[in-house]
Amino acid sequence: MSHARSARRRPEGGLALVLAFAAAAAVFVAVFLFGRSNTPDYTATLFGRADADALRLKAQLATGVLVLAALQLLLALWMYGRLPGVHRTPGPVPITHRIVGVLLFALTVPIAVHCVRAYGVQLTGSRAAVHSIAGCFFYGAFAAKVLLVHSRRLPGWALPLAGGALVVVVAVLWYSSALWHFNGDSVPVLSLAHHVRDSG
């Protein structure tokens, strides 16, 4: 009986993984193609702010997203008993994790809308390309995680992988945008590649 039950669980879990990866790929491609087909409008505003003010506000909002992502990671580790010295998960932790996730996603929307309207998906220049691809990947990974969260029969690595990917891509997005802005339009590695290309 136990073998039959585990045999049933494996295909269902496998189907959930296939659907999650398919959704991630579909969302990634959709956002990418939409961004590539969009005509950039460099006068686009963000909450009424334009040009340097809009960039500053986006950098601040992106920093808020990074903080929320770090909090999400902390809460996830707490829920799954991975925090050193912590052996009990209080009841409010799971619901707080979900609320923080919703806030994180909501905060990314105005940033992404402004990015697509003002710049589209750009592949020229290492920083812009990394930022554009990471932005498309973020929404694909988010779609996958939403599907995986609602599946009860998954390999143990699936949700941590999806959640970890989201945290990493948020860090990459912040690094290639907010840090770039705060650091005088320069970031380690990506800006170095740009300078090497220009001098070559």
Residues 51-96: tens digit of each pLDDT = 999 999 999 999 999 999 999 999 999 988 888 888 788 889 999 9
The two three-digit tokens of residue 167, written as one number: 């945290």
Question: Could you tell me if 20 and 93 are in contact, meaning their C-beta atoms sit under 8 angstroms apart?
Answer: no
The domain tally of the chain equals: 1
The two three-digit tokens of residue 173, written as one number: 């997005």
User: What range defines the domain where residue 63 resides?
Assistant: 2-199
- pLDDT band, very low/low/confident/very high, at 187 (cuts 50, 70, 90): confident
- pLDDT band, very low/low/confident/very high, at 4 (cuts 50, 70, 90): very low
* pLDDT for residue 160 is more than 80: yes
For the CA atoms of 21, 22, 25, 31, what is the dihedral angle to 10 degrees? -120
